[in-house]
Amino acid sequence: MESIAESIGVFKLPSMIFHIIFTAVLFVRLKKNDLFERYGFTKPKYKLYKAWFFLPLIIVACSKIFFGVTLKYSLLETIFYIVSMVCVGFLEEIIFRGFLFLGMAKDNIKTAIIVSSVTFGLGHIVNLFNGQDLVKTLVQICFAVAVGFSLVALFYKGKSLIPCIVFHSLNNALSGISDEAASARFFGSADRELFITAGISVILLVIYSIYLMRSSLIENDGDAVED
């Protein structure tokens, strides 16, 4: 889709169309088979006043615009990008946290968590085929694995995929309006900015994942879930 976009000269339009169609097909399939609740399209099983523990995810998602926002593409192409990324948030969460994790969790929870997280990270190797630099791709994979662990822990504890989709969509969409030049100037270079911000995000997300898995924050309520 990215190659087609380059050939027609309209950034993200083919990708957006593909993602919208794929999202619609999955959505209809879930609805037709009454699978929304099974795959986490429900209210989280924790009190909403406890949602302060989303803070690490908010920091990571919004870190892309800490140094400002800018239109890197035309307004229409930016809209295409954001719509595409929202669909990607839905698609990747239902595939990796929904189908894959839940499909394996009935046999072994730990294995399901690891496989869901690692395969989610490795899936980003596809960016190499879009011409992305190898080192940048490897950093992105490490970041994605950390994100995967955080989101699967959040889904496992709260039984709701909605917060995962919201974070994933926001994290991806904000990349389309981030002022990369400003952040690169602050850190001294784009490469240094990449390593520092990704490193901090990975550390934060690993700590967050461990906290979620060990915390009794959710289970001690009357509406808690049982592991």
Would residue 221 count as lying in a domain?
A: no
The alpha carbon of residue 9 and the mean position of all alpha carbons in its chain are separated, in whole angstroms, by 27
> Is 227 buried (19+), middle (13-18) or exposed (0-12) by CB count in 10 A?
exposed
Domain count, the chain: 1
What is the per-residue pLDDT for 158?
A: 85
Would residue 153 count as lying in a domain?
A: yes
The alpha carbon of residue 61 and the mean position of all alpha carbons in its chain are separated, in whole angstroms, by 9
What is the per-residue pLDDT for 217?
A: 56
What is the per-residue pLDDT for 227?
A: 38
Would residue 128 count as lying in a domain?
A: yes
Would residue 219 count as lying in a domain?
A: no
Q: pTM for the complete prediction? A: 0.87
Would residue 75 count as lying in a domain?
A: yes
Query: Amino acid identity, residue 115?
Result: V
What is the per-residue pLDDT for 73?
A: 86
The CA distance from 118 to 152, in Å, is 11
The CA distance from 81 to 148, in Å, is 22
Would residue 226 count as lying in a domain?
A: no
Nearest to 68 by CA among 169, 182, 151: 182
Would residue 114 count as lying in a domain?
A: yes
Query: Amino acid identity, residue 17?
Result: I
What is the per-residue pLDDT for 225?
A: 37
What is the per-residue pLDDT for 53?
A: 80
Q: Is 209 helix (H, G, I), strand (E, B) or coil?
A: helix
> Is 211 buried (19+), middle (13-18) or exposed (0-12) by CB count in 10 A?
middle
What is the per-residue pLDDT for 124?
A: 80
What is the per-residue pLDDT for 134?
A: 84
**Average pLDDT by stretches of 10, the chain with 227 residues:** 74 88 95 93 77 87 92 89 94 94 91 93 80 84 94 90 94 92 90 91 94 69 38
What is the per-residue pLDDT for 173?
A: 93
Instruction: Give the structural domain span for 143.
Output: 2-214
User: What is the widest separation between alpha-carbon atoms in the chain?
Assistant: 56
Provide the phi-psi class of 131: left if phi over 0, else alpha when psi is between -120 and 50, else beta.
left
Would residue 222 count as lying in a domain?
A: no
